[in-house]
Amino acid sequence: MSELQTEMRQEHQPLLEVTDLRTHFRTERGLVRAVDGVSLTLERGKCLGIVGESGSGKTVLSRSLMGLLPSSNTVTSGSVKFEGKEILGLPSKQMRRLWGREMSMVFQNPMTSLNPLMKIGQQIAEPLNLHLDMSRADARATAERLLRDVRIPEAARRLDQYPHELSGGMRQRAMIAIALACGPTLLFADEPTTALDVTVQAQILQLIGEQRRDRNMSVVLVTHDLGVVAGHTDEIAVMYGGKLVEKAPTSVLFAHMKMPYTMSLMRSIPKLEDPSHTRLATIPGRPPDLVHPPKGCRFAPRCAYARDKCITEEPPLRQAEDPNHSYACWYPVGSPEFNQREAELNSGAVPVTLEAR
Amino acid sequence: MAGSGTAHLRDGDIVMRVENLVMEFPVGRTGLKVHAVSGISFDVVRGETLGLVGESGCGKSTTGKAMMQIPRPTSGSIKLDGLELTTLGNEELRSARTKMQMIFQDPISSLNPRRIVRDSVREPLDVWGRGSKAEREALVDRVLESVGIDPQRAAESRPHQFSGGQCQRISIARALVLDPTLIICDEPVSALDVSVQAQVINLLEDLKKQYGLTLIFIAHDLAVVKNISDRVAVMYLGKMCEISPSDDLYARPAHPYTRVLIDSIPVPDPSAVLADATTIGEPGSPVTPPSGCRFHPRCQFADDICKSAEPILQDIGNGHFVACHHPLEVPVSIQSR
């Protein structure tokens, strides 16, 4: 295939195409709208960051895409197309053909997601046997190579060790080796570094990036930390209250963030260059109750820039100056109303750290 | 690094002074020992916040617990307001412990899931029989309000009905009711979202002023530690690398390990150049710690002396001390030559 044709195919058919996805859970309290109308696309070889607080729906979104939610109390609608084929609502028997070979997931806590009673080597060999019908000897050799790929020292010896014999960082590397075993085209990483030290976090993020380039794999990186996604993603989707509230290429988002929510998340990160005891900007309150979400903008009750319209009318996803940048806000960062409120906040008894950076 | 020495200890109104603390634990019946903490010293002045920072396994939590005498240290001296804790009898120790409290990493598992949270907060007062019943209830109300929890809701709810951030506030309230001098916070914000993390840090700063507290803040994220601390101690494999006023530590990190920690913090700026993380490696084993400077196997500046001799903390000016044979900043003793 010529380069042009390849390009055209990729242009017409993204790896993952999500349209108006809704995932609702039936509970005693009522319907929990955990994911409520999310649309996004992911190109081959790209890394998408999904950012939001606990309860924003980012984990449910990634599990819905992979079909990992229990069917008994879940109601899903919309469309999820993987390589052009609809996969939403496929029975797990058919999804199983995709799991491992086409898509796989790295979870947050490697200690609870690895089997404590199985040797590391067996755990990596399992998907190889299951999905690729590999023989035991081949699977073991492949497992050893995978451990070397994820930079685990003394790979051969580690094959016969149990998870508790490895450090936290090494367990997460082993998890990544399992996820990569069958050569997936799409890797979901759900808070892969939240349980780890900063030094190990830097190493794991770099490892995921290297593997993505080597394998031309797409990655969905789910996290609550904007610092983590900044250096490791091509595009970022910010979620709040089950909705996508801002989406842009990474460099565009950081240069021109539009949603006050994104900006507040950004400002709540402690910065090394600030002197100690700099008051941190916080987001007051809590994410909304998704059984009875607020009527207007879901962030309005916690937003310092909200006005009457925000409380009564839900803002649609609008396009910003950059055609790839969209946001859902009536009075985005930089609008006259926003600037006016910002000036009021700065002149009043508002912490100094709220000043625009 | 990873050195010893007491040159950095100060005079004055010291709340907590730890000298040559050693914590060792046997490894089963093998005769081997885990050298969790190997001779560290530090002090905390009244009203100060000391940050203890380092990777998992550097001994920072063990140090935090050692101050509470859980368990009692292998050797060394720990003084709270001048009172030597390591030799106290059980009953005296129990009453000394009311002056220091701990807050832990996982707020949900550090509260009893089957108890009404208000009862959990009141329990320390009941145990010590402080005041009348009405006085206790009034105090619990006040403390809960000061951490931003509705006392009414606390009187009818259990921990699972609160979010992680709220549970951490409740744990803080429980630590405050006995009016302690010192609070040891062991990774209090590591399990929280960034937005909630900022709330809890601000709350700790407010309470510190309001209640005249002295804090020891243990964490692995240097940006968080720097924000809340007046002074920061960097630990590695049971030894002290560097101790300094927090702004000075960031302005001129003198220990190569501190540099690694600073470079590892994810910066929310896509144009920032990422340091190559592959060379960082992982800490060695505390059972068989490396000779000389314990950081030498991971250090790009290490040479023969680092393998054989342990560095001692030396002054590099401005209350900043570093234990390294090849510090990134020039020691005072050489400056004056």
pLDDT digits (tens, 9 = 90+) for B25-68: 998 888 899 999 999 999 999 999 999 999 888 999 999 999 99
Q: Where are the domains of chain A?
A: 257-354
3-state secondary structure chain A: CCHHHHHHHHHHCCCEEEEEEEEEEEECCEEEEEEEEEEEEECCCCEEEEECCCCCCHHHHHHHHHCCCCCCCEEEEEEEEECCEECCCCCHHHHHHHECCCEEEECCCHHHHCCCCCCHHHHHHHHHHHHHCCCHHHHHHHHHHHHHHCCCCCHHHHCCCCHHHCCHHHHHHHHHHHHHCCCCCEEEEECCCCCCCHHHHHHHHHHHHHHHHHHCCEEEEEECCHHHHHCCCCEEEEEECCEEEEEEEHHHHHHCCCCHHHHHHHHCCCCCCCCCCCCCCCCCCCCCCCCCCCCCCCCHHHCCCCCHHHHHCCCCCEECCCCCCEECCCCCCCCHHHHHHHHHHHHCCCCHHHCCC
Cβ contact, residue pair B163, A54, below 8 Å: yes
Separation of alpha carbons B53 and B258, rounded Å: 9
The residue with tokens 């994410």 is: A287
Interhelix angle for A136-149 vs A120-132, to 10°? 120
Q: Is A213 on the interface with B (CB under 8 A)?
A: no
B221 touches chain A (CB under 8 A): yes
pLDDT value at residue B46: 94
**pLDDT of A351 higher than 60:** no
Cβ–Cβ gap B246/A198 under 8 Å:
no
**Is B47 at the interface with chain A, CB within 8 A?**
no
In a mutagenesis test of the A interface, which of B60, B105, B193, B228 is the best target, namely the one with the most A β-carbons within 10 Å? B193
In this model, does residue B317 exceed pLDDT 60?
yes
CB contact under 8 A, B223 and A278: no
Q: What is the DSSP letter of B293?
A: S
Decide if B114 contacts B158 (C-beta within 8 A). Answer: yes
Measured in angstroms, the CA of B222 and the nearest CA of chain A are apart by 8
**A205 contacts in B (CB within 8 Å)?**
266, 277
The answer on pLDDT for A7 being more than 60 is no
Q: CA-nearest residue of chain A to B263?
A: A199
| Residue contact A231–B264, C-beta within 8 A | no
> CA B196 to CA B189: how far, in whole Å?
8
Chain B positions touching A167 (Cβ under 8 A) are 56-57, 282
Q: Alpha-carbon distance A355 to A191, whole Å?
A: 30
Residue of A nearest to B283 (CA): A167
Q: A280 contacts in B (CB within 8 Å)?
A: 198, 201-202, 227
Residues in chain A: 357
Q: Which chain A residue's Cα is nearest to B225?
A: A276
Q: Say if the Cβ atoms of B247 and A275 lie within 8 Å.
A: yes
Contact call for residues B141 and B133 (beta carbons, < 8 A)? no
Q: What is the pLDDT of residues A215-249, one digit of tens each?
A: 899 999 999 889 889 989 999 999 999 999 999 99
Distance of residue B121 Cα from the nearest chain A Cα, in angstroms: 22
Round the average pLDDT of chain B to a whole number and report it: 90
Contacts of residue A198 in chain B, CB cutoff 8 Å? 220-222, 261, 264-266
The predicted model gives B168-187 an average pLDDT of: 94
| Chain A residues touching B262 at Cβ < 8 A | 272
Tell whether A170 is within 8 A of chain B (Cβ).
Answer: yes
- The predicted pLDDT at position A9 comes to 52
Domain locations in chain B? 14-99+180-335, 117-178
Query: CA-nearest residue of chain A to B252?
Result: A273
Options 3.50.50.60, 3.10.20.30, 2.40.37.20, 3.40.50.300; CATH of B14-99+180-335:
3.40.50.300
Q: In A, which residues are within 8 Å of B282 by CB distance?
A: 167, 169-170, 200
Which residues of A, range 109-148, sit inside 8 Å of B by Cβ? none
The distance of B189 to chain A (nearest Cα, Å) reads 12
Helix (H, G, I), strand (E, B) or coil at B267: coil
Q: Flag whether residue B168 sits within 8 Å of chain A, measured between CB atoms.
A: no
For chain B, say whether A203 makes contact (Cβ under 8 Å). yes
**pLDDT, tens digit, 9 for 90 and up, residues A82-131:** 999 999 989 888 998 899 899 999 988 888 889 999 999 999 999 999 88
Percent of residues, chain A, with pLDDT higher than 70: 94
The ipTM (two decimal places) reads: 0.83
Residue A186 to residue A18: CA distance in whole angstroms:
14
